[in-house]
Chain A
């Protein structure tokens, strides 16, 4: 098992994935490092893929006119950033910024989509895993929207 395959295998997102798929996915992966405040991807620009966070922290931001960027979520070690590569038009829904020195395994979206088309069991596995990430995020967003710490009138 080469280094990148090992990193993928050890990441929480791919826990328990069939080793044959790990080998396949390693072909779509690169390791990247970002310094604090580096922009990883920008809202509205083509979504190149997704990021398995190995170290550091990524902030998902929305730019609000006259208020500047608002952080809606942070993703730390063991988390995954980026879903918009999954569905057309494959554009980023947020801006992602490294909040500290951050290391990721970056997965090429187009390459992963091709592998998923070639082997639909892998595709099903991928969508299942991303659905869990999205559900967890939706639950958290629901609580954020409720503004539970505000004074109740």
Chain B
């Protein structure tokens, strides 16, 4: 019986507590186990396989607070049939959850250092658990800097939370949009343009980067220009993950499996693979 309960291939039933619309095509699901009151432990940066019964299963990073395991939160964008069906779920609907899977942002390794978090678009949700963790353990870190790029002002995720973080004064928040429309009077330009001015000490900094692959490639170039070593940069990779435990091979990336060896990688460990166009 225990074997079945711990089987990573067996989804557990969770009940939808709340569906929150974030932008026109992005939403957050708050989930709670359908049976029992146990919490859901995970590390910042890990993901779950979410199963919409009758439609399919997709990997979605966890975007809630790792220190508040009673509430499991996922933010995702409606891009395919499964996420579109997920977006139609209502309070008390049931969804299957397998996980948590994968590696995490090295928040322990970052202690005593400046931490630069660079997020692009839908890359902010996988970083939010790390931000919660860093803020709850604020005295263990030096400067915390969040650089976030979105497509337009209407596609900025968690705007209220960004304002709250900015008003804390112990987290340096910079937001930029690619297209400055209407009454937007903040930064306009890609997120990489924020890096040259980010106030971190390159000799004692760790960077967490998440966003589309092309965005983090250029982000890494800018971080290297600031003399941040390769081994102090961590990136989160995205591929077509299916089993979540490195068996099916769908997310194979050279000699690694994104679901098991990632999604969070130290940049120098995958640098050579990223340079190969064939994979």
Which residues of A are interface residues toward B (Cβ below 8 A)? 36, 57, 59, 61, 70-74, 76-78, 99-100, 136, 139-140, 143-144, 146-151
A151-B77 in contact given A74-B187, A76-B187 (Cβ < 8 Å):
yes
Decide: B189 and A148 in contact? CB cutoff 8 A: no
CB distance from A3 to the nearest CB of B (A): 24
Q: How far is the CA of A11 from the CA of B176 in the complex (A)?
A: 23
Task: Say yes or no: is B184 at the interface (Cβ < 8 Å to chain A).
Answer: yes
Complex-state Cα separation, A10 to B197, whole angstroms: 15
A-B contact pairs, 18 of them (CB 8 A): A36-B185, A59-B188, A61-B180, A71-B179, A72-B188, A74-B188, A74-B189, A78-B197, A99-B185, A100-B185, A136-B193, A139-B192, A140-B192, A140-B193, A143-B178, A147-B178, A148-B121, A150-B151
B193: chain A residues at CB < 8 Å are 136, 140
Q: Do the beta carbons of A149 and B212 come within 8 Å of each other?
A: yes
B120 touching A74, Cβ below 8 Å: no
Q: Chain B contact residues (Cβ within 8 angstroms of A): what range?
A: 20 to 34
**What residues of B have a CB within 8 angstroms of the CB of A59 in the complex?**
180, 185, 188
| Nearest CB in chain B: distance from A49 CB, A | 23
A74 → chain B, closest Cβ, in Å?
4
Chain A residue with the shortest CB-CB distance to B150: A149
B contact residues around A74 at 8 Å (CB) = 176, 180, 186-189
Residues of chain B touching chain A, judged by Cβ–Cβ distance below 8 Å, are 25, 77, 79, 120-122, 149-151, 155, 176, 178-181, 184-190, 192-193, 197, 211-212, 214-215, 218
A147–B214 Cα distance when bound, in Å, is 11
Q: Which residues of A contact B77 (CB under 8 A)?
A: 151
Contact count A vs B, C-beta below 8 Å: 74
Q: Which of B150, B184, B188 contacts A73 (CB 8 A)?
A: B188
Q: What's the nearest-Cβ distance from chain B to residue A121, in Å?
A: 27
Please, how many angstroms separate the alpha-carbon atoms of A6 and B213 in the complex?
42
Choose among B122, B150, B190 the residue with the greatest number of A CB atoms under 10 Å from its CB.
B190
- The answer on a CB contact under 8 Å between B181 and A148 is no
CB-based contact B218/A143 at 8 Å: yes
A8 to B185, CA, bound (A): 27
A129 to B151, CA, bound (A): 30
C-alpha spacing A146/B178, complex, angstroms: 10
A147, B151: Cβ atoms under 8 Å? yes
